[in-house]
Amino acid sequence: MPCRHRTAVQLDSYVERIIDRDIPEQGGSIRRPESLRAWLRAYAAATSTTASHPTIRNAATAGDSDEPARSTPQAHRDLLARIRVLDPVSAWGLNRAAVSRLKASPKHQLVEPAVSARFLRVFPQEPQSRSPRSVRRRAAQRATSARVPSPTS
């Protein structure tokens, strides 16, 4: 099984465990697990941003004909924060005065960046060897693939 596939299976299992076991163990109940997955996906897209809660709600409910009750998004946020999956981090900035920092929205963080990457279908590149031999081999492969075949008579 390729490394990427194994990692994807592990991350999917991690999310399933959050929904099926961790939330009920903390006294939470989810009527629509696919809805919570959509919220997690929206939070993954909003990671390290100051996206407003309505923006995240719109991303999570895109295409749904039923808008969630006003209490649903807050309940999801509270539940995910309680089990330490979602972490609202105070806004920061290098050149901000203390007063403007207080007015800034918190940034959204999923505690495990790999889960964000999985929801967004972003995978790291396979590590490449930096030995001189492998660098020469890759350069030769690029040169070979860049050559234009000569016309035959």
Answer yes or no: is 152 within a domain: no
Answer yes or no: is 71 within a domain: yes
How much is the pLDDT for 139? 65
Answer yes or no: is 27 within a domain: yes
Question: Which domain does 29 fall in, by range?
Answer: 3-146
Q: In whole angstroms, give the CA distance from residue 84 to residue 78.
A: 10
Show pLDDT as tens, one digit a residue, over the chain (153 residues). Answer: 667 788 888 989 999 999 899 988 988 888 888 888 888 999 889 888 888 888 888 888 887 777 777 777 788 888 888 888 888 787 666 555 655 555 667 787 888 888 888 888 876 655 555 556 666 666 666 665 544 454 554
Answer yes or no: is 151 within a domain: no
How many structural domains comprise the chain?
1
Q: In whole angstroms, give the CA distance from residue 97 to residue 102.
A: 9
Answer yes or no: is 19 within a domain: yes
How much is the pLDDT for 17? 92
Answer yes or no: is 115 within a domain: yes
Question: Phi/psi class of residue 147: alpha, beta or left (left: φ > 0; alpha: ψ in -120 to 50)?
Answer: beta
Answer yes or no: is 127 within a domain: yes
Answer yes or no: is 17 within a domain: yes
Collapsed DSSP state (helix, strand, coil) of residue 127: coil
